[in-house]
Structure 1
Amino acid sequence: MKKGNPYRLSSYSSYRKRNKAYSYVFTLVRYIIVVAVVVGMLRFFLLGSFAIETTAMRPQLDPGDRVVTSPFVFGARYGDNRSLPGIRSPQYGDVVVLNSPYKPQTSVFLRVLDAPIRFFTAQQVSLLPKPHGTEARDVIRRVAALPGDTVRVERYIVYVRRSGETAFRSEFDLSARTYQLRADPLPQNWTARSPFSDAFSEYTLGPDEYFVVGDNRTEALDSRYWGPVGSHEITAKVLLRYWPLRRFSRL
């Protein structure tokens, strides 16, 4: 009986093992890429996570809190003035994510690609330019007045006269959700034009302008300082706080 060449059999066996290993690695890489793309798309268009880094929204949100956000509610933005259809527009009292006026501009492709990379590296690696200072990142604020409203601020409270009405109403009367403010005493001779001021003169918002404020009125840069923001600057609605677990709540 003729025996086979043991060297050839060994080489063939090694080839099959290498081929199987390559196939496994290729499948794994392909799976990771698909998952990364899906995660990136979901985070960009449907649900995302946001870590609170400042005291601007105290007493509702503290540094270290984490919240779930949804671009889908208002329509995910994929360009300077372009968005997908949303469920509704921002309303009184909504807590929202918006682009900081000091945030570096980046492409949509880079933002989508960045989401899965940050996800798989536990937020340690990012493709986006590193902002300088916390206020250069996306920020969370509360919507106090809508397009067409006339707004003013007195002793830190926002008063709104809606289009077609004659009387001003406080932000608390118009909001569907209850919330509290925080306001510490300011230095003497602080002017109305200074950041964190307790006053803002009457201003009528344009067709696509929103007045947004931080709940911590003496530590939040907001529309009192920036002026109104456009709908294209509001990128997501904050749905709930999920961390820490003992403070889990809708927002």
Structure 2
Amino acid sequence: MFGFISISETELNSRIGLYFGIIGGVIGVIAGVIGILNKPEKEREKLLRKDLDWSDTGWSAVLLASLLMYFVVQAFKIPSGSMRMTLVEGDHLFVNKFIYGIHVPLTDGKRVLPIKKVQHQDIIIFLCPKIALSQDEQRRGVEKDFIKRAIGLPGDTVEIRGKKVYVNNKLLEEPYLNFEDEYIQPRIKLFNTNQEYQKVWSAGGFRSLPARDNFGPITVPPGHFFVMGDNRDKSFDSRFWGPLPDRNLKGNALILYWPINRIKIIK
């Protein structure tokens, strides 16, 4: 339902693989040096020179791989059905991490050199806002990634009327949509003014409110996005936990590469 991408299954696995590669490289170099020391002097010099060249190449490859994973592209796995049928459970995809800008390390989500800005209906990967985590997850300091579709951009007015989405009072064409529940939750008047509605939603106060099928209108705040899953009835998204901060953005879904029979460019 939630449509998150667990760091423990994706980024952590990549990091573990990288760490084991580094450890393996160190062990290989040490073993090579010990072997060389047991050789005659002339042969030892020749082998040492050759092994140092190999070691330099190996470390360069490890460094390049780590830079690619951090700045350029990364693999993720879809664990839930909130993006059905565009992406289904078990799909593996590559995420373009530089198209919206390269993340500057040790900053609060700052990005530089963007190729383009987020567009309506882009499929984006982002760090789950804390408000969208359960109390237990917040207490344990859990971090995980979500994947959703960008519906509203900063300054847009978003409204849902009977499962149909309107952006700036225009019906949004969404051929990718999937509905699993024919029932339409009725609109319930919960607030006296639009200003009060906007304030509570912006603070993530709709987590347990019936906002699935009739929602808004709200205005997307500056520096934020309104995101939803394609499997509209089974997605925990901006309708409930509020606007997505731009600083949480990680990248754009690029290519579905596994399973083989589902390989495609994601859009």
TM-score by length of 1: 0.69
Counterparts of 1:186-201 in structure 2, within 5 Å, are: 193=206, 194=208, 197-201=212-216
- Work out the CA distance in 1 between the residues paired with 2:158 and 2:186: 24
Coordinate RMSD, CA, aligned: 3.2
% same residue: 27
Q: Can you give the 5+ residue segments of structure 1 that lack an aligned partner in the other structure?
A: 1-10, 104-129, 162-167
Within the candidate set 146, 152, 160, 1:139 is matched to 146
Checking the alignment, whether the CA contact within 8 Å between 1:44 and 1:76 is kept in structure 2 is no
How many residues were matched structurally? 202
Question: By percentage of residues, which structure has more helix?
Answer: 2
Within the candidate set 220, 245, 256, 1:241 is matched to 256
- Work out the CA distance in 2 between the residues paired with 1:131 and 1:14: 56
Checking the alignment, whether the CA contact within 8 Å between 2:153 and 2:220 is kept in structure 1 is yes
Cα 1:73–1:219 shift into 2, 3 Å: same
Cα 1:22–1:138 shift into 2, 3 Å: farther
Matching residue of 1:111: none
1:89 is the counterpart of 2:117: yes
* Amino acid paired to 2:230: D
Matching residue of 1:6: none
- Work out the CA distance in 2 between the residues paired with 1:99 and 1:223: 13
Shift of 1:248: 1.6
Counterparts of 1:173-212 in structure 2, within 5 Å, are: 178-184=175-181, 193=206, 194=208, 197-212=212-227
Cα 1:171–1:234 shift into 2, 3 Å: farther
* Amino acid paired to 1:246: N
Counterparts of 1:153-164 in structure 2, within 5 Å, are: 153-161=160-168
Checking the alignment, whether the CA contact within 8 Å between 2:177 and 2:232 is kept in structure 1 is no
- Work out the CA distance in 2 between the residues paired with 1:227 and 1:142: 14
- Work out the CA distance in 2 between the residues paired with 1:100 and 1:184: 26
Q: Can you give the 5+ residue segments of structure 2 that lack an aligned partner in the other structure?
A: 1-36, 132-139, 191-205
1:23-67: CA deviation from partner (whole Å, max 9, x where unpaired): 555444432221121112222222222211111111111111111
TM-score by length of 2: 0.65
1:141-167: CA deviation from partner (whole Å, max 9, x where unpaired): 100011111112233333211xxxxxx
1:105-124: CA deviation from partner (whole Å, max 9, x where unpaired): xxxxxxxxxxxxxxxxxxxx
Counterparts of 1:1-251 in structure 2, within 5 Å, are: 14-78=40-104, 79-102=107-130, 136-161=143-168, 168-172=169-173, 178-184=175-181, 193=206, 194=208, 197-250=212-265, 251=267
Cα 1:188–1:149 shift into 2, 3 Å: closer
Bigger radius of gyration: 1
